[in-house]
A and B are shown apart, each in its own frame.
Chain A
Amino acid sequence: MQSVANKPAPDVRPHSGIDLRFGSNAMRLSGRQWAVVGLAFLAFCVFTPGLWERAEKLDPPPDYRIPYDLSNDYWLFSRCARLAEGRGEMPVLGDSVVWGQYVKRDATLSHYLGERAGAPRFANLGLDGGHPAALAGLLRYYGGDIAGGRVVLHCNLLWTASKKHDLSSEKEFRFNHPALVPQFVPCIPCYTETGSKRLSIAIERQMTFFNWANHLRVAYFGQQDLPTWTLEHPTADPVAAMGAGLPTADDPLRHEPISWTARGVEKQDFAWVDLETSLQWRFFREAVETLRARGNKVFVLVGPFNEHMLNDESLKVYAERKRAVAAWLEANQVPHLVPPPLPTELFADASHPLAEGYRLLAEQLWANADFARFAGK
């Protein structure tokens, strides 16, 4: 019985000289050879992003902002933050209001602040769709290079205008920048990505190499992975595509620069989320705390917000929220400005100003004593 019990497993037809107990290919390496492979791979991971950065031309023109199509390229954000730091420019951080959704790059808040200062002292590091949860993640994982400097941070209360904006809705929906938000704790109810995917996001965003690999996807392969890109460009040469250089900073206008009234938008009644329970407000505070923990001096700009678009009820709540935010900033000794509402015709929608609105906002900021002190005017 013992002998039959030890009968070897069914084998396959032998092929001369090939050890089929191992496998059907020659990729059999010894421990030492694997050590060599491991070292080579490690070297590749450690040095390639740096070497790539040197080889890839990024000479931002004045008022540079990360091109719209590269909004998910956090490695590029990190690089731009480093450049701004190197040039002694003050980063202006926030969502598409800072980025300038309805204006060209030479009509944004940072441009007009620079114009006021008489020199390009402000860097537009706005992130399209950068809600506070994403912003907090962006600063935590990719904003290390601006540690210690002065930062203007934009607070857009639109992100608390409904449970959906606030990400506290139980109903699943796709929101911007899921790779920046906390993957496990605190729990974002509308975020229903699989545990495995969350884990890979949580791990990969800590590693420069994977961020760089993502940069290749976003910047050169139309925000797709290489295989998907080749499906759309079956005969194209991926190496040539990677050598094509970064997309230009001169984005065409995303939307017609016309006011909300000309668009025919009606007054809104937002279902504001209580700040006590708001996730986005919690993440905004976290962003401020992350910056301050890194030694940054932070100035918070609350708004602009198109208050003309709100009905009476909603306006009342908004005013309360504004006061509460200002009170928190005051209590935490964060210099800030809650500017008066811009004229109605200077808004394109609920929160995005048109070019003249940005100019006026920059003027208001510049006239503010706290900001003057902060910016070292």
Chain B
Amino acid sequence: MLFHTWTFAIFFAVVYPVYRLTKGTRLELPWLLAASYVFYGWWNPLYLILIAYGTIMDYWIVVRMEKSRRKKWWIALSVVSNLGLLGFFKYAGFVATNLNWLLAHLGIGYALPQPDILLPVGISFFTFQSMSYIIDCYRGHVKREHSFLRYAVYVSLFTQLVAGPIERASNLLRQLREEHRITREDVSDGLSLFVVGLFKKVALADYLALYVDKVYGAPGNFEAPALALATFAFAWQIYFDFSGYTDMARGIARMMGLRLMLNFNNPYLADSLGDFWQRWHISLSTWFKDYVYIPLGGNRGGTLLTYRNMVLTMVISGLWHGAAWTFLIWGVLHAAGRVLTRELERSRFYRERVPRPVKQLGVFAFVTFAWIFFRAQSVGDAWLIVSRIATPGRAIVTFVWTLAWTFLRSLSVGDAWRIATSSWTDSAFPLMALALVLAVWGYQFLYESKARTMLEWAPVRVSLAVVLVVYVATFPAGAAQKFIYFQF
């Protein structure tokens, strides 16, 4: 069930009024749990077994851990259980493929059976959310939750079950315990978040996807301009898609009186890679910081160890996104980027002399370059794209050669120009899409500048909201598309 479909609208139209009626009563949690399980089971009812297993297992482990002196054993059991689940569903195919490749190259005549497993939607998100609770309990950062129902709602809450934000018990579980009324401000803020998210997804992400899918679907058919434009488009597509989902998730939760954490904060305005990771998928970045980077030693062990920890964290983060070498390379690229730029970013020259827009463009260029590996269907495709983009001369040579050759064949200058430029038609990127992206980028620049007050002027906000709603209703991009992050 996708947020931007009528199915969800009807689902929410049923769930929400009953939730408001039951809020503060004994029925609140059972109702939320039932709604969340219906929402999740909508994809495939078999998934419910998985989430129920994870919930029961982790709840039981924490109960046992509290009474046990050997807490480490219990936390280990939980980590094995959660990562085992994740590993089986997400990485079994990847491991088997690569082992088979290795066995074949070693001349061993045995091949592991290739598992044909459908990755359950959202598994990476709810296992991480559940793990954060157990680790926080182990560390004594949160109290054990006594109500199983409340814990089950915390793990499966439909607003953020399938693609985050990956909540922490200290935030979400606490709110589920507290009793507070849903205010009018909650509803209007929720609506504000939802509408912006809807626009990002329906009007922008799904629009850009049309161009990106065409080019990345067969990169060999395209030249440097189209590949570069598609990469630029993907950078924005993934941002609009994921942050749009998050905005909608946060908006729905907010209407229910729950405040989910901020997950995106205008990441393409970041002026350093460190800054980027504080603005992009914040709930995952902070998860890795708290449960991987800091336990590895963080920045406490000197420069080399700090870099080692940064690299490990980024590589694991890359693999979290998907079981493919492309994701691993993406993680390595970001790790390398962080290591190489960390000292530069700390330098006085960088901080004081380099103009902020230059830093921002530099970070955007690097992040966009890394997206090539994230989006490409294989390492081979990614390499092809990089090599074609990296040889801008090729496109120019093609153009000049076609122009000269056509002219020599004694056609008119006009014909020569038409034929030569036709070899560039594959780069044709819709001007409207470009205008929309630049408008959003400009809006974000304005919002983080002193001119922000202009955007906060009520008539501007209201007019903007009307435009967004009308556009989404009138010109959506085809059928409702899934969110990119559902595959992770």
Interface residue ranges, A against B (CB under 8 Å): 1-2, 4-13, 15, 17-18, 20-31, 33-34, 36-37, 40-41, 44-45, 195-197, 199-200, 203-204, 209-210, 213, 216, 225-228, 230-231, 234-235, 238
Contacts and interface: CB of A to CB of B under 8 A. Distances in A.
Given A12-B282, A199-B7, A231-B211, A225 B474 contact: no
Contacts of A8: 170-171
B477 A228 contact: yes
Contact of A27 (B185, B192, B289): B192
A369 B323 CA distance: 75
B466 interface: yes
For this complex, into which size category does the number of interface residues on chain B fall? 35 or more
B278 A235 contact: no
Contacts of B142: 4-5
B207 to A, nearest CB: 4
A199 B262 contact: no
Nearest to A202: B6
A10 B477 contact: no
A29 B433 CA distance: 26
B381 interface: no
28 contacts: A2-B143, A4-B140, A4-B170, A9-B167, A10-B282, A20-B265, A21-B262, A24-B444, A25-B443, A26-B455, A26-B456, A31-B187, A33-B188, A33-B461, A34-B465, A197-B480, A200-B480, A203-B6, A213-B475, A226-B475, A227-B432, A227-B433, A227-B477, A228-B477, A228-B478, A231-B430, A234-B430, A235-B431
Contact of B279 (A12, A31, A204, A227): A12
A37 B472 CA distance: 14
Interface string B443-474: 11001100010011010011011101110011
B264 A24 contact: yes
Contacts of B207: 227
Given A199-B6, A231-B214, A234-B430, A26 B167 contact: no
Interface string B231-273: 0000000000000000100100000000101101110000000
B479 interface: yes
A196 B211 contact: no
Contacts of A213: 473-475
B474 to A, nearest CB: 5
A183 to B, nearest CB: 11
A25 B444 contact: yes
B167 A15 contact: no
B418 interface: no
B447 A26 contact: yes
A26 B465 CA distance: 11
Nearest to A22: B189
Contacts of B289: 10
A230 B195 contact: no
Given A7-B170, A226-B432, 13 more contacts: A8-B170, A11-B262, A13-B265, A15-B448, A27-B461, A29-B465, A34-B188, A40-B466, A200-B5, A227-B207, A227-B433, A228-B477, A238-B432
Contacts of B468: 27
A210 B473 CA distance: 8
A18 to B, nearest CB: 8
Interface string B311-331: 000000000000000000000
Contact of A196 (B1, B188, B214, B452): B1
A226 B436 CA distance: 13
B174 A230 contact: no
B191 A29 contact: yes
A40 B193 CA distance: 19
A227 B210 contact: yes
Contact of A45 (B7, B275, B473): B473
B39 to A, nearest CB: 13
A29 B447 contact: no
A200 B473 CA distance: 13
* Chain B interface mostly: helix
A109 to B, nearest CB: 36
B356 to A, nearest CB: 13
A319 B174 CA distance: 75
Chain A CB within 10 Å — which of B10, B187, B192 has the most? Answer: B192
Chain B CB within 10 Å — which of A26, A28, A200 has the most? Answer: A26
A9 B275 contact: no
A73 B8 CA distance: 27
Contacts of B192: 23, 27-29, 34
B138 interface: no
Contacts of A24: 262, 264-266, 444, 447
Q: Which 6 A-B pairs have CB atoms at the shortest separation, nearest pair first?
A: A9-B171, A230-B430, A10-B286, A234-B428, A227-B477, A227-B207
Chain B CB within 10 Å — which of A4, A11, A13, A37 has the most? Answer: A37
Contacts of B447: 18, 24-26
B2 interface: yes
Contacts of B30: none
B248 to A, nearest CB: 12
A235 B447 CA distance: 29
Nearest to B174: A6
B188 A29 contact: yes
Nearest to A228: B210
Contacts of B143: 1-2, 5
Contacts of B191: 29, 34
A6 B89 CA distance: 34
Contacts of A40: 462, 466
Contacts of B476: 225
Given A41-B469, A199-B10, A200-B6, A17 B189 contact: no
Interface in B150-206: 167-168, 170-171, 174, 184-185, 187-189, 191-193, 195-196, 206
Contacts of A45: 473
B16 interface: no
Contact of B262 (A20, A216, A226): A20
Contacts of A199: 5-7, 10
Nearest to B287: A10
B290 interface: yes
A23 B250 contact: yes
Nearest to A204: B6
Nearest to A2: B143
B243 to A, nearest CB: 8
Contacts of B141: 4-5, 7
Contacts of B264: 24
B259 to A, nearest CB: 7
Nearest to A9: B171
Contacts of B31: none
B384 to A, nearest CB: 22
Given A1-B140, A37-B462, A227 B206 contact: yes
A20 B282 CA distance: 12
B469 A28 contact: no
A4 B476 CA distance: 46
A195 B211 CA distance: 27
A1 B145 CA distance: 13
Contacts of A227: 206-207, 210, 430, 432-433, 475, 477-478
B212 to A, nearest CB: 11
B475 to A, nearest CB: 4
B72 to A, nearest CB: 20
A48 to B, nearest CB: 9
B429 interface: yes
Contacts of B1: 196
B262 A12 contact: yes
Contacts of B189: 22, 28
Contacts of A231: 210-211, 214, 430
